[in-house]
Amino acid sequence: MTYKVHNRLGSSGFAVEATLELSGLPYEMVLLPSTSDTPLPAEFTAVNPWRQVPVLETPEGRIITETAAILFYLLDRHEECRNGTTLRIGDTIAFYRWTVFMAVNIYEGILRISYPDR
Ligand SMILES: N[C@@H](CCC(=O)N[C@@H](CS)C(=O)NCC(=O)O)C(=O)O
């Protein structure tokens, strides 16, 4: 059972990588040769038609995009991601609230800085 994380340096995918690393779950990292503020390679649309990272491939071959959704999935599926020896969520409501808050409010501001043409 191995996850595959598609990511690039400087991405919010670090949260996915940290969750997998700290929980001890096996995963493979696929680092894309791409830098912040630039588009991802066109071929990456085969993995994510939205052409964004992070992307998590589950051991069953499902594709999950959106950092918040990936984190919610991992927490739901693995006890060690929410109540393990290195990862513990003390306040679940705050965790869900702030994770969604970052995705829908803070991210929109960052998007305008990185890709003003959009
Ligand atoms: N809403 C997505 C945003 C993902 C995102 O913007 N990722 C950046 C990583 S730096 C990206 O892939 N940018 C490439 C692009 O938008 O062209 C999430 O929370 O995962």
DSSP string, the chain: --EEEEE-TTSTHHHHHHHHHHHT--EEEEE-S--TTSPPPGGGGGT-TT--S-EEE-TTS-EEESHHHHHHHHHHH-HHHHBSSS-B-S-HHHHHHHHHHIIIIIHHHHHHHH-TT-
Overall domain count for the chain: 1
Beta strands at 3-7 and 27-31: parallel, antiparallel or unpaired: parallel
Per-residue confidence (pLDDT) for residue 111, from 0 to 100: 84
Tell me if 81 is assigned to some domain.
yes
List beta partners, residue 6.
30, 55
- The domain containing residue 62 runs over which residues? 3-88
Encode pLDDT of 39-89 as tens digits. 899 999 999 999 999 999 999 999 999 999 999 999 999 999 999 999 999
Tell me if 56 is assigned to some domain.
yes
Q: Is the CB of 36 under 6 A from ligand 1?
A: yes
Q: Is the CB of 99 under 6 A from ligand 1?
A: no
Tell me if 108 is assigned to some domain.
no
Per-residue confidence (pLDDT) for residue 36, from 0 to 100: 83
How far from chain centre, in Å, is Cα 54?
Answer: 4
Tell me if 94 is assigned to some domain.
no
**The dihedral sign for the CA sequence 42, 109, 10, 26:** negative
Determine the residue of 5, 12, 30, 36 to mutate for testing ligand 1's pocket, defined as the one with the most ligand atoms within 8 A of the Cβ atom: 12
Per-residue confidence (pLDDT) for residue 57, from 0 to 100: 98
Q: What is the CATH number of the domain that holds 76?
A: 3.40.30.10
Tell me if 111 is assigned to some domain.
no
Q: Is the CB of 52 under 6 A from ligand 1?
A: yes
Tell me if 78 is assigned to some domain.
yes
Tokens (6 digits) for 85 = 């020896």
Q: Average the pLDDT over 16-33 and give the result.
A: 96
